[in-house]
Amino acid sequence: MKILIVGLTKGIQFERLSEEGKKRGHEVLGSLSSDLIIDTSTNEFKPILTGHDLSSYNLVYSLTSKRRWEWYTAFLYLAEKYKTIIVNKKVIDPTYNYFLTPAIDYLRQTQNNFQYPRSFLFFSIKFLDNFSGEFKFPIIIKRSDGRKGKGVFKANDMNELKARASEILKSSLSFVVREFIPNDGDIRVFCVGYKAVGAMKRTPKIGEFRSNISQGGMGSNFDLNSRADVRELAESVAAVVRTQIAGVDIMINKETDKPYILEVNPAPQFEGLEKYTSVNAALEIIKYFETLQSS
């Protein structure tokens, strides 16, 4: 099988996927999101990479870090014309591919009665005062398109909330204000093919509320057998939001012991998972690609 990873050309994650793919007889190549060229005319629509015809790939795994509408169009074209397998499915799913924002994930979670923190999505700070009675400080504010814990802050009052919102809007179209859940860290559940293959507990460093490994959080193995509700929630939400390979972040309220969905990451890093647990995430992904090809 010839596999293309869009958005990744180097680093441990790419090396691990290439390594496990090669062991099983597959060719794994990478490209930057900016490498796409679309050659189009009256008679032809042809998405290409420099020196590579995209139609030659059996499977394309998208790890694009931004909303790349041209790539989504190319994915849909490849799937329809050449039956190319596209992962994650949500980028070509007609109920998702034109609405790839946090709002559609929130809608699906509400429709399926999943527990997640109350959240407000804003495009302007001028309406924050209208909802001041709904906010209980401290409160979380973050970029609507944030990743790796970047652009995520905790505000202790309205003045701080507005200041953070103004800062975020300099580089983001919108922001999310979210209920703060009392916690001692969160759980990253790694799902492949809508099934949890492993999980790690992430504990923030002293003085920090973000538990992301990239922000200095410490990882440790989390036994999913000890919390069947966490496993079930992660697998269910991954399926509902059409994310075949997902990093589902779940936080347990330390006062009520209830699990809450924080985020379903469609481009999850697995370096930390492989470091802190016995899970071979790269192998699980390659094996899943094989099942997609054979089905």
Looking at residue 256, which CATH number applies to its domain? 3.30.470.20
Is residue 239 domain-shared with residue 276, that is, in the same domain? yes
User: Is residue 98 scored above 90 in pLDDT?
Assistant: no
Is residue 42 domain-shared with residue 78, that is, in the same domain? yes
Is 103 inside any structural domain?
no
Give the CATH number for residue 124.
Answer: 3.30.1490.20
Is residue 134 domain-shared with residue 192, that is, in the same domain? no
**Tokens found for residue 258:** 């209830």
User: Is residue 148 scored above 70 in pLDDT?
Assistant: no
Is 106 inside any structural domain?
no
Are the beta carbons of 140 and 177 closer than 8 angstroms? Answer: yes
Is 143 inside any structural domain?
yes
- Per-residue model confidence as pLDDT tens digits over 6-18: 999 999 999 999 9
Are the beta carbons of 219 and 180 closer than 8 angstroms? Answer: no
Amino acid at 225: N
> Strands across the sheet with 45-49, in order?
37-40, 45-49, 52-53
Is 37 inside any structural domain?
yes
- Per-residue model confidence as pLDDT tens digits over 241-292: 999 999 999 999 999 999 999 999 999 999 999 999 999 999 999 999 999 9
Is residue 173 domain-shared with residue 253, that is, in the same domain? no
Q: Which residue range(s) make up the domain with 41? A: 2-87
> Strands across the sheet with 186-192, in order?
218-221, 195-203, 186-192, 245-252, 259-265
CA distance 78 to 100: 19
Is residue 160 domain-shared with residue 205, that is, in the same domain? no
Is 288 inside any structural domain?
yes
pTM for the model: 0.94
For residue 95, what pLDDT is reported? 76
Is residue 262 domain-shared with residue 202, that is, in the same domain? yes
For residue 149, what pLDDT is reported? 67
Give me the number of domains the chain comprises: 3
- Per-residue model confidence as pLDDT tens digits over 193-239: 999 999 999 998 887 888 887 777 899 999 999 999 999 999 999 99
Is 99 inside any structural domain?
no
